[in-house]
Structure 1
Amino acid sequence: MAPAIPGFNFVWVDDFNGATGLPDQKKWNIIQKGPNRKSGEVQTYTASTQNVSLTGSGQLHITPQKDGNGNWTSARLEGVHDFSCPDNGKMILQAELRTGIDPVTEQAGVWPAFWALGGWIRSHNTPWPECGEWDIMENSSGAGFTLASLHYGPDGDPAHEKSQGGQLNSAAEKSMPVEEFNTYSLMVDRTLSRWQDETLTWSLNGKPWFSVKGSDVNDHTFWTNCAHKAFFPIVNVAIGTNFPGSSNNGQPNTQTVTGLGSGMQVLYVAFYKSQ
């Protein structure tokens, strides 16, 4: 169950309660499409309960599967609704989840993520990454890290990207093995008088570890897209990744396991706004 956060109210939440079967499609679009080859992906996203399902006990499972011909399927959920941070207020997008629990040697090419896209990509056809993208949790090939990233501005311009990796076994997060449930969140803070001082802050299990200020982006239009406009949440597990340093060049191999051992278990996803 999504926890209360002092000083904030729930705006939207899914605790994934309900009978076994597909998640609530009034809350989630279940994406059905082929792989994004530009990102190195090989899976097809489906709406099959073999790939995405409620457990009946308050969890969402995203389960990659490989068929007898070596073809991978998986799932991607995109929130139906998007939400924006109020003027002079704060907003948090948060989820508690666990990524694949099988050994790293059996997760080559597995790419789970909890992230969000700016809603104008849907409502105004604003292209990526100008619409804005928050990568709140990204992991590659079962390794013990999460990556925080902010994408914005014109496509193909590496100057318009801010990112930082965080090793979960480092001094700051040494007690947070990737195989356990962890809480990942991003907070938008618009309580300061100048947009240059507004912040996006990533937290792991309640501890802030990365932030980007408006002055870091240094462009009012780009920052407005990143921090003022509405975003919708996404949870997915891709197979195949272009992450630098991924095992097997980011591609699955014969040892990559099919099933929940390379999947994702989600307890909740929630938006909060300051009171």
Structure 2
Amino acid sequence: MSPPPAESGYSLVWSDDFSGAAGSLPNQSKWNIVSSGPNSGNQEVQHYTQSNSNSSLSGSGMLHITPQHNNGQWTSARLECKSSFQCPAGHRLLLQAELRSGTFPANQQSGIWPAFWALGNDIRNGNNVSWPQCGEWDIFENAHGADFSLGTLHYGRGGTDHLSKGSARQTFQVESFHTWAVKVNRSPSNWQDETLEWWLDGNKFFQVKGSDVGDGELWGRVAHKGFFPILNVAVGSNFPGGGQPDDKTTTGLGSGLQVKYVAAYKSN
């Protein structure tokens, strides 16, 4: 088992260490296991299912999201946390996960698109807020077995007003587990100096300040509101260098996502 680590200066608010019997579904009191068809706008082709063939516990404290290809159709899993997490004024919020992306050779992962990300809770709480107005944090996002992730902030006023700020390519060793995190820092006394920070294995690799967004309302939506984490593996991708699965794309956990824990912390 891998319980979330203690983080200096923070208290644990919520976590899942994915303990449970091998082959069982993830804890549905904590996660909404999505059932849906493909998101063609992102060039996805998978169907998300609630089957334990696509999302299951390992029996040793790990979540497995496993793309499958049967009868000409790709299936996979998307888990949306039922809780959302908000950073109070004067505090810091840390949302992180320890995970490993697919370990098959890159030429066997064409079209595979794993991610750990979060959406603003306003998209689902009856406020008639759509994407990108709700805000989106892409904490870990990778595709096609490549050895890089992109950290991205999506925001805007809705409709066609879509703005984003993104990191340079952050390389990592594909075969290893890594800790990916986003930190909301509302310690400064004015919103212009507040930050959203992206971290890999304890090292900050990207930052957006309130002054970079330059609009108090838009910044408030991405840094002051509640966000809920999401874990998924899509098949078919518009990620940079993206594309579709081909005849070499291999089904199974080697094209999937393994997650030891997800945790949210608030500063003391």
Q: TM-score, normalised by structure 1?
A: 0.94
Give the structure 2 partner of residue 267 of structure 1.
260
1:121 and 2:118 equivalent?
no
Query: Secondary structure at 1:152's aligned position in 2?
Result: strand
Give the structure 2 partner of residue 134 of structure 1.
137
| Alpha-carbon displacement from aligned partner over 1:47-76 (angstroms, at most 9, x marks no partner) | 100000001100000000000x32000000
Query: Secondary structure at 1:165's aligned position in 2?
Result: coil
**Aligned partner letter, 1:111:** W
1:234 and 2:230 equivalent?
yes
Distance in 2 between residues matched to 1:126 and 1:215, nearest whole Å: 23
8 Å CA contact 2:134–2:221 kept in 1: the answer is yes
Give the structure 2 partner of residue 205 of structure 1.
201
- Following TM superposition, where does structure 1 have runs of at least 4 consecutive aligned residues deviating by more than 6 angstroms? none
Query: What CA RMSD, in Å, does the superposition of the two structures yield over aligned residues?
Result: 0.9
Give the structure 2 partner of residue 55 of structure 1.
58
Give the structure 2 partner of residue 164 of structure 1.
167
Distance in 1 between residues matched to 2:153 and 2:83, nearest whole Å: 21
Distance in 1 between residues matched to 2:193 and 2:241, nearest whole Å: 34
**Aligned partner letter, 1:53:** S
**Aligned partner letter, 1:8:** Y
8 Å CA contact 2:120–2:226 kept in 1: the answer is yes
Distance in 2 between residues matched to 1:242 and 1:166, nearest whole Å: 16
8 Å CA contact 1:138–1:147 kept in 2: the answer is yes
**Aligned partner letter, 1:97:** L
Equivalent pairs counted in the alignment come to: 263
Give the structure 1 partner of residue 213 of structure 2.
217
Give the structure 2 partner of residue 80 of structure 1.
82
Give the structure 2 partner of residue 190 of structure 1.
186
1:258 and 2:264 equivalent?
no
Give the structure 1 partner of residue 48 of structure 2.
45
**Aligned partner letter, 1:156:** T
Give the superposition deviation at 1:39: 0.2
Query: Secondary structure at 2:169's aligned position in 1?
Result: strand
Distance in 1 between residues matched to 2:238 and 2:41, nearest whole Å: 8
| Of 17, 35, 50, the match for 1:15 | 17
Query: Secondary structure at 1:56's aligned position in 2?
Result: coil
8 Å CA contact 2:170–2:205 kept in 1: the answer is no
Distance in 1 between residues matched to 2:170 and 2:154, nearest whole Å: 21
CA 1:167/1:200 → structure 2, altered by over 3 Å: closer, same or farther?
A: closer
Matches within 5 A, 1:97-108: 97-108=99-110
Q: TM-score, normalised by structure 2?
A: 0.96
Give the structure 1 partner of residue 175 of structure 2.
179
Give the superposition deviation at 1:157: 3.5
Identity of aligned residues (%): 57
8 Å CA contact 1:2–1:15 kept in 2: the answer is yes
Unaligned runs of 5+ in 1: 169-175
**Aligned partner letter, 1:197:** D
Give the superposition deviation at 1:82: 0.5
Distance in 2 between residues matched to 1:183 and 1:166, nearest whole Å: 16
Give the superposition deviation at 1:156: 3.2
Query: Secondary structure at 1:244's aligned position in 2?
Result: coil
Give the superposition deviation at 1:256: 0.2
Give the structure 2 partner of residue 172 of structure 1.
none
Give the superposition deviation at 1:155: 3.9
**Aligned partner letter, 1:104:** A
**Aligned partner letter, 1:26:** S
8 Å CA contact 2:78–2:233 kept in 1: the answer is yes
Distance in 1 between residues matched to 2:49 and 2:128, nearest whole Å: 24
